């Protein structure tokens, strides 16, 4: 799986970071950062929940 972020839509509200801090981080500059675009399969459920909960639908999950 691969995480794709539409940074033009992202408001960096940190909901994804609350759900899956292993992958998503909103830093002090109010921007979203990914620790990896291709997280381990063990994080799939958490990443999928972060995608679902994004209020701006700025995060997508692609199969690789």
- Can you give the pLDDT of all 64 residues of the chain as single tens digits? 999 999 999 999 999 999 999 999 999 999 999 999 999 999 999 999 999 999 999 999 999 8
Tell me how far apart the alpha carbons of residues 9 and 51 are, in angstroms, rounded to a whole number: 13
Question: CATH assignment of 2-62, given 3.30.70.20, 3.40.50.300, 3.40.50.620, 3.40.630.40?
Answer: 3.30.70.20
pLDDT of residue 42: 98
Domain spans of the chain, in order of start: 2-62
pTM: 0.94
Give yes or no for a contact between 23 and 33, defined as CB atoms under 8 angstroms apart.
Answer: no
* DSSP calls for 41-63: GGGHHHHHHHHHH-TT--EEEE-
pLDDT of residue 31: 97
pLDDT at residue 64 in the model: 86
Report residue 4 as tokens: 């794709």
Query: Can you say how many angstroms the Cα of residue 31 is from the centroid of all Cα atoms in its chain?
Result: 12
User: CA-to-CA distance for 1 and 60, rounded, in angstroms?
Assistant: 10
């Amino acid at each position: 799986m691969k995480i794709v972020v539409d940074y033009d839509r992202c408001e960096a509200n940190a909901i994804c970071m609350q759900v899956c801090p292993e992958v998503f981080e909103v830093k002090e500059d109010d921007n979203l950062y990914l620790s990896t675009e291709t997280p381990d399969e063990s994080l799939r459920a958490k990443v999928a929940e972060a995608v679902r909960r994004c209020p701006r639908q700025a995060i997508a999950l692609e199969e690789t």
